[in-house]
């Protein structure tokens, strides 16, 4: 199929075809990462701006490696040490990014919806690298790729997502990517950390909630543990991290309730001993390191597809915007 | 602007303007039948071995999507003739195209598969049709990202002329003079279900 999207903001309105196109291109990109020279030329002369207004190491580095593997020029703007800290508005930052001639803006922001705001105001293609509690589409796609690679096909497969679903953009993007591919998702976690509507039965199609993690894991095809932010305990949503670990932590005997060999994933960074035991995180079922490698390939696939997509006027993306720099 | 064209009078549907057919009407001729393709491949396989007698240095890499099928056939022919298994690879050149910024969409990238080191080897690149030479330029650029071959040679089923780059083939199944607007269509059993090479000629304006 011909790729027509200009931005990657969230996969909630993507067709199965579009998601599979990204996953298939990811497969081709993985081969480039295994070559002696891990670099191909399709984005030569293009500029990718990494605009991270919220702390991130692995996602930013992953995008940087992806852009460089496709020969793009990469520029970093982080919130600390930039004019964002001096009080520059998001709109002014966008104008600056325009003036710098970025072809693709990869952005992470603490406010949900910020990438949509930017996408409406720039000629560049925008990739959401995480916005507030809303979405983290590249994580959803890399999780879908990793699962498809491990399970062969996601049709009819049941994936358990356990932890702080309420505050997790990863959980939402995982659901939005896995469901169109034919998977079913079982959510599990403390009721205080599940969105009220979902806990009360108003769930998206294909998604169920099971408060008992052992029952959720029985016969499951895979499990994704979410990171527990330690602040959640202080805000009174959890009695203690020890109790969380005992009831919701992925321990070896729990993981064994799944289908034999069913994989374990985690978006990182992990709190070992809280949401996942070290023995599970580094055990034979763990795909956690694979997720990191696949993350680079997924981002390469997206950068490649976006750089080639037509601009609204139908012409290829302009190299720079003279209007913005005026 | 175009609204006046939405009305079509009954007579307009029966009137056939020959000038509209220029560049459209096509004449299809078979260039190579299945047997010709088989013979061409056998001959190319012999020529490759005659040129580089040290089979231990040889490798064959096909350019996707039809060069890889031809490469596999050449490899099989060398095995049948010489009893030697030459390493076989497939290369996708999409990311190395020189028109990516012009075509306005991202063409599908397929996986390259080169399960051996190309360092010091004589690599025979295989493609179905040699035309402008741009695909071969891209393939050579891609290949040197895998290492430093001792030599790169080129085998094609059909050389149709109209080169835009200084590139020539070492092994050619058939040389065919064509007009620039003609289509040379290679059908291979592995991809298309049958073996045939056709030329589709456009009626000049």
Mutate one of A8, A22, A37, A42 to test the B interface: name it (highest B CB count within 10 A): A42
Asked if A14 and A134 touch (Cβ cutoff 8 Å), the reply is no
pLDDT at A311: 52
List % helix, strand, coil for chain B (3-state, nearest 5): 35, 25, 40
pLDDT at A324: 34
Question: In this predicted model, what pLDDT tens digit does every residue of A155-191 receive, in sequence order?
Answer: 999 999 999 999 999 999 999 999 999 999 999 999 9
Mutate one of A25, A33, A125, A298 to test the B interface: name it (highest B CB count within 10 A): A25
pLDDT at A234: 78
As beta bridge partners, residue B185 has: B198
Mutate one of A1, A8, A30, A36 to test the B interface: name it (highest B CB count within 10 A): A36
Asked if A293 and A33 touch (Cβ cutoff 8 Å), the reply is yes
Q: Which CATH code fits A137-290?
A: 3.40.50.1370
CA B10 to chain centre: 46
Domain positions in chain A are 11-135+292-325, 137-290
Q: B96 and A40 in contact by Cβ < 8 A? A: yes
Q: A315 and B110 in contact by Cβ < 8 A? A: no
The closest CB to that of B105, out of A2, A39, A70, belongs to A2
Distance to chain A for B140, nearest Cα, Å: 13
Structural domains of chain B, with CATH: 39-179 (3.40.50.2020)
Q: Does A70 touch chain B (CB under 8 A)?
A: yes
pLDDT at B192: 93
pLDDT at A257: 97
pLDDT at A318: 43
A37: chain B residues, CB-CB within 8 Å: 145-146
- Locus of tokens 């040129």: B51
DSSP string, B103-163: SSS-PPPPPPB--S--TT-EEEEEEEEESSSHHHHHHHHHHHTS---SEEEEEEEEE----
Q: Does B50 touch chain A (CB under 8 A)?
A: no
Res B89 pLDDT > 90: yes
| Phi, psi (rounded to 5 degrees) for B171 | -130, 125
DSSP 8-state symbol, A69: H
Q: What is the architecture of the domain spanning A11-135+292-325?
A: 3-Layer(aba) Sandwich (3.40)
Q: pLDDT averaged over consecutive 10-residue blocks of chain A (326 residues)?
A: 91 96 96 91 93 89 97 86 71 85 92 94 94 96 98 96 95 97 97 93 94 96 93 82 93 96 95 95 96 97 86 44 33
Res B188 pLDDT > 90: yes
Q: What angle do CA B105, B109, B113 make, to 5 degrees?
A: 165
Q: B111 and A308 in contact by Cβ < 8 A? A: no
pLDDT at B15: 53
* CA distance to A151, A234, B140, B188, per residue, from A156 (Å): 11, 39, 43, 36
Q: Does B95 touch chain A (CB under 8 A)?
A: yes
Question: In this predicted model, what pLDDT tens digit does every residue of B138-175 receive, in sequence order?
Answer: 999 999 999 999 999 999 999 999 999 999 999 999 99
* CA distance to B59, B85, B94, B116, B169, per residue, from B120 (Å): 10, 18, 25, 11, 21
B2, with CB counted inside 10 A (0-12, 13-18, 19+), is: exposed
* CA distance to A241, A274, A277, per residue, from A271 (Å): 10, 6, 9
ipTM surpassing 0.90? no
- Report the predicted TM-score, pTM, of the whole model to 2 decimal places: 0.88
Helices A58-69, A137-151: axis angle to 10 degrees equals: 80
């Amino acid at each position: 199929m011909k790729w027509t999207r200009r931005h990657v903001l969230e996969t909630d309105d993507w067709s199965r075809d579009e998601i599979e196109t990204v996953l298939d291109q990811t497969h081709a990109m993985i081969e480039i990462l295994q070559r002696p020279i891990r670099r191909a030329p399709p984005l030569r002369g293009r500029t990718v701006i990494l605009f991270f207004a919220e702390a991130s190491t692995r996602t930013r580095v992953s995008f940087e490696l992806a852009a460089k593997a496709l020969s793009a020029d990469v520029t970093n703007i982080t919130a600390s040490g930039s004019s964002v800290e001096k009080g520059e508005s998001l709109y002014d930052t966008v104008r600056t990014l325009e003036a710098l001639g970025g072809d693709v803006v990869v952005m992470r922001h603490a406010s949900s919806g910020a990438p949509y705001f930017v996408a409406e105001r720039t000629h560049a293609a925008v990739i959401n690298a995480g916005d507030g509690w809303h979405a983290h589409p590249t994580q959803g796609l890399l999780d879908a790729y990793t699962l498809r690679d491990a399970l062969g096909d996601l049709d009819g497969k049941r994936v358990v997502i356990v932890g702080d679903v309420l505050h997790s953009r990863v959980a939402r993007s995982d659901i939005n990517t896995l469901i169109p591919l034919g998977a079913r998702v079982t959510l599990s976690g403390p009721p205080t950390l599940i969105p009220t509507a979902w806990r009360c039965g108003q769930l998206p199609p294909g998604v169920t909630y099971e408060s008992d993690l052992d029952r959720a894991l029985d016969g499951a095809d895979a499990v994704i543990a979410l990171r527990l932010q330690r602040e959640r305990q202080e805000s009174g949503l959890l009695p203690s991290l020890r109790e969380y670990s005992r009831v919701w932590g992925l321990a070896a005997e729990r993981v064994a309730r799944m289908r034999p060999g069913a994989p374990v994933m985690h978006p990182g960074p992990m709190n070992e001993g809280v949401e996942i035991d070290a023995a599970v995180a580094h055990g034979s079922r763990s795909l956690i390191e694979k997720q990191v490698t696949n993350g680079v390939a997924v981002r390469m696939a997206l950068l490649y597809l976006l750089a080639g997509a037509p601009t609204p006027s139908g012409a290829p993306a302009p190299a720079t915007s003279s209007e913005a720099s005026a | 602007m175009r609204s006046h064209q939405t009305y079509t009078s009954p007579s307009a549907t029966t009137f056939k303007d020959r000038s509209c057919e220029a560049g459209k009407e096509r004449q299809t001729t078979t260039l190579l039948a299945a047997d010709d393709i088989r013979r061409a491949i056998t001959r190319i396989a012999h020529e490759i071995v005659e040129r580089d007698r040290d089979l231990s240095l040889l490798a064959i890499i096909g350019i996707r999507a039809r060069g890889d099928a031809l490469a596999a056939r050449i490899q099989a022919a060398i095995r049948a003739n010489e009893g030697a298994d030459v390493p076989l690879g497939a290369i996708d050149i999409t990311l190395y195209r020189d028109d990516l910024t012009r075509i306005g969409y991202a063409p599908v990238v397929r996986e390259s598969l080169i399960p051996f080191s190309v360092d010091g080897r004589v690599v025979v690149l295989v493609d179905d049709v040699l035309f402008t030479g741009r695909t071969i330029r891209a393939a050579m650029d891609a290949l040197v990202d895998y290492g430093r071959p001792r030599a790169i040679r080129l085998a094609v089923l059909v050389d149709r002329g109209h080169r835009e780059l200084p590139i020539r083939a070492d092994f050619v199944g058939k040389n065919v003079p064509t007009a620039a607007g003609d289509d040379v269509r290679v059908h291979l059993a592995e991809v298309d279900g049958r073996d045939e090479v056709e030329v589709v000629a456009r009626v000049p304006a």
